[in-house]
């Protein structure tokens, strides 16, 4: 979505209406079957893009027994224009992270344990020059129990907040609203403190979001409207028909424009194939939209 000033009523309302019109409410409408991940068909790319244009989120399913490795996961991302990979602390040399319950130094970070993860967008602690605008997670193995994700389109969060009180948007777009203190592990200063907005527009046309609902290691601007906006956002994330809930199965993945998401706790089994393991890539750019208006009309019908 493009940036609409708060005083702008008509254009924003028109966009809002179009956004919510026939918005998919079942996660099954977002799952695209792919035949060959190395060479996606045009119609598959269009369906993936179409879902992302509408909801900022899409799921894919590969044929059973598809041999998969990190390069194939990167290939899927590449075919959707996701080329600027982020290398986070726990990523391997190829910049793909293996998300699993690890018993090593990565266990400092909750994503690398089997604990529940609060609502967040990925890389909210990154410096402004390395903001995460998309990510892909591919499931190699699912856990014996749990490990389900919930997702919410940031544009839906924006709409609900603006419906409640337009000043909430102004408050959350403040450049100083959210500070992540420096990350100091084992006395090493790994990252400096990062201050920035919750909502911002990339190039004036793409709404992006930095957010975490964690209570510790985060400093919010001391301001009444900010506090009310955060309470409102927490309510939106608690009970909302627009939340997509999905537990990835082996051979499935999710690609999104850094949507809000959380994760339930999980329990691994004894067998390797019952130990949850995902490949994850994070990207500085967003999913390409090469669809024409006419194609969007057609493909929206496919997704819904």
The reply on whether position 252 binds Fe ion by CB under 5 A is: no
Question: Looking at beta carbons, which residue is closest to Fe ion?
Answer: 122
The reply on whether position 122 binds Fe ion by CB under 5 A is: yes
Q: Please give the full DSSP string across the chain, using - where no structure is assigned.
A: -----TT--HHHHHHHHHHHTT---SGGGGEEE-S-TTS--HHHHHHHHHHHHHHSEEEEEPPTT----HHHHHHHHHHTT---B---TT--TTS-EEEE---SGGGGSGGGSSS-EEEE-TTTTS-GGG---EEEEEEEE--SEE--EEEE-HHHHHHHHHHH-HHHHHHHT-TTSEEEPPEEETTEEEE--EEE-SEEEETTTEEEE--B--SSS-EE---HHHHHHHHHHHHHHHS-TT-EEE---TTEEEEESS-EEEE--EE--SSGGGS-EEEEEEESSPPP----HHHHHHHHHHH-
- Residue 261: CB minimum distance to Fe ion, A: 6
* Of 54 and 120, CB closest to Fe ion: 120
- Residue 5: CB minimum distance to Fe ion, A: 31
Chain residues 157-186 in contact with Fe ion, contact rule CB under 5 A: none
* Of 12 and 135, CB closest to Fe ion: 135
* Of 131 and 162, CB closest to Fe ion: 131
- Residue 18: CB minimum distance to Fe ion, A: 29
The reply on whether position 86 binds Fe ion by CB under 5 A is: no
* Of 122 and 153, CB closest to Fe ion: 122
Judged by CB under 5 A, how many residues of this single chain contact Fe ion? 1
Interface residues toward Fe ion, by CB under 5 A: 122
């Amino acid at each position: 979505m493009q940036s609409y000033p708060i005083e702008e009523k008509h254009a924003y309302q028109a966009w809002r209406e179009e956004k919510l019109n026939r918005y998919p409410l079942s996660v099954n409408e977002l799952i695209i079957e792919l035949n060959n991940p190395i060479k996606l068909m045009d119609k598959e790319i269009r369906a993936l893009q179409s879902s992302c244009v509408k909801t900022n989120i899409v799921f894919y399913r590969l044929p059973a027994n598809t041999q998969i490795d990190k390069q194939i996961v990167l290939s899927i991302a590449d075919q959707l224009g996701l080329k600027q990979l982020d290398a986070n602390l726990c990523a391997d040399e190829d910049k793909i992270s293996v998300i699993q319950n690890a018993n090593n130094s990565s266990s400092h970070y909750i994503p690398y344990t089997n604990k529940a993860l609060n609502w967040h967008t990925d890389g909210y602690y990154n410096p402004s020059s390395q903001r995460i605008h998309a990510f892909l997670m591919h499931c190699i193995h699912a856990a014996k129990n749990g490990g389900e994700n919930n997702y919410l389109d940031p544009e839906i969060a924006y709409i609900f907040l603006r419906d409640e009180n337009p000043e909430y948007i102004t408050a959350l777009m403040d450049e100083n609203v959210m500070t992540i203190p420096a990350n100091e592990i084992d006395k090493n200063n790994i990252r400096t403190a990062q201050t920035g907005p919750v909502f911002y527009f990339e190039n004036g046309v793409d709404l992006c979001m930095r957010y975490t609902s964690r209570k510790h290691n985060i400093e919010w601007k001391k301001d009444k409207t900010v506090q009310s906006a955060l309470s409102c956002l927490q309510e939106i994330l608690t009970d909302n028909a627009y939340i997509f809930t999905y537990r990835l199965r082996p051979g499935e993945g999710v690609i999104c424009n850094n949507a809000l998401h959380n994760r339930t706790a999980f329990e691994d089994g004894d067998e390797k194939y019952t130990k949850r393991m995902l490949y994850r890539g994070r990207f500085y750019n967003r999913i390409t939209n090469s669809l024409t208006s006419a194609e969007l009309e057609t493909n929206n019908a496919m997704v819904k």
